[in-house]
Structure 1
Amino acid sequence: MDKIQCALKDAEPKNKEEPENNLIRKGEIIDKCTELNHDKLVKLTKDTIHNVIENDPLLSGLPADVTIEELKAQIAVAQGQAITLYLNRGELPKLGIVVPPHNTTVLDLKKAIKRHTNLSLKREKVKKKISWRHVWKKYHLCFGTVRLINDNENIKAYGITNKAELYYVKRRREKNKLMKHS
């Protein structure tokens, strides 16, 4: 603030006959000072948020560019209002998915997987778009040896609890799918 005040004093006209030019000059100086300070302020804010997340044991596992949704989900897990499930994607790293423990259907779980996967790809700067219709047509979600087939079924019916590990299993083609009814 002192720099702005000093700059404004320097912008005072030598003669009092040009008040319009003086206002324009003051505005230019303020704009230049705020532009410089804005960049520094953004960097300082990002660094501070990163330090808070890194030093807080509750938030320490979150990435530096955390979203508000991820923060709320992590807080819900800590308060027991949500559970974390892990999706084993083979060669890719496991993906943590946060869902509410009550009244969560397999369809809700699939939507959460879609959200978390897309966010993960965005962070890795992968531009490839995933056809989720194709994924769900070719693969089942699996928990242990149980395939999550019914989208309307509650995940508790499958025995899924906190920190459970899910994975994809390729669907088998059902022969003679169309059978004649007699």
Structure 2
Amino acid sequence: MGEIEYNNSGAKKARLHSMLTTLLDDPILADVPKNPTLADVDTLISLELGGAMRISVLKLDGTSFDVIMMNSATVKDLKLSIKKKVNDMEQSSMGHRHISWRHVWANYCLSHHHDKLLDDDDMLLNFGIRNNSQVQFIPYVTTKESRRHSKRRKHRFFHGLNKLSSANKQRLTPCWRPLRDAYADVIVKEVSPPMCLAWVKVNQTIVALYPR
């Protein structure tokens, strides 16, 4: 009896898998992965409702593919989706081939309209990435020296802010906090009392801070 039930269950699963495969071959469902997870389905539903966006990824060989990201996605989320998409495509076309993603991200980065997506915590929306936007791979090598330079530049900026008087700090705080939270890159043009002017480069937008 148990063997008959097991066989029936196996037959039902086989029919269900066959039906699912047929459905996924329909061009209308071309966006659905071959082995969709619940998260994949939720993201596709969000795309239809405006809560997600389709992003085209241009590779170095000129070919491209699409990934679907939630509107709240970060650069790290995009990288993970690209990794999953590429691995799935490699698996389906030529079997498993190991790709060293550590090597990829050490020598290339993503770019959108000449803006490099370097900070994993940055939201995609901060770069102007919307539905049907395109990002591309570009050569980019992160060296230890460049990381040290970035840390020194950031340190100089905050050290300059700490030299401001308490009154100026109070006046600076309301406009600085949202920029600090969205911090991407900082360039100090001038932090010198009594003017106490500083320019912050946030996602390629220059913002002037006037503490007085």
The reply to whether residue 167 of structure 1 matches residue 130 of structure 2 is: no
Please list every run of 5 or more consecutive structure 1 residues that lacks an aligned counterpart in the other structure: 1-26
Task: Supply the distance in 1 between the matched residues of 2:136 and 2:18 (Cα, whole angstroms).
Answer: 36
Which runs of 5 or more structure 2 residues have no equivalent in the other structure?
153-212
Residue-by-residue CA offset, 1:54-95 (whole Å, 9 max, x unaligned)? 5694x3443544343322221121122211111122448522
- Give how far 1:169 is off: 0.5
Deviates more, 1:157-166 or 1:107-116: 107-116
The answer to whether the aligner puts 1:89 opposite 2:86 as a matched pair is no
- Larger relative strand fraction: 2
Rounded Cα–Cα distance in structure 1 between residues aligned with 2:94 and 2:102: 22
Q: Aligned match of 1:132 in 74, 86, 101?
A: 101
Counterpart of 1:46 in structure 2 is: 17
Q: Following the alignment from structure 1 to structure 2, what is the Cα–Cα distance between the partners of residues 46 and 36?
A: 15
Deviation, 1:154, is 2.1
Identical-residue share of aligned pairs (%): 20
Aligned-partner residue type, residue 119 of structure 1: D
Distance between the aligned counterparts of 1:63 and 1:108, measured in 2? 17
State the Cα RMSD in Å. Answer: 3.2
Greater radius of gyration (CA):
1
User: Are residues 105 and 62 of structure 1, via their aligned partners in 2, closer, same or farther at CA, if it must alter by over 3 Å?
Assistant: closer
**Partner SS, residue 124 of structure 1:** helix
One-letter amino acid of the structure 2 residue matched with residue 42 of structure 1? K
- SS for the counterpart of 2:121 is coil
On the 8 A contact 2:91/2:97 being kept in 1, the answer is no
Q: Which has the higher contact order (CA 8 A, sep 6+)?
A: 1
Asked whether 1:112 is paired with 2:81, we answer yes
Q: Could you tell me how far apart the structure 2 residues matched to 1:97 and 1:65 are?
A: 15
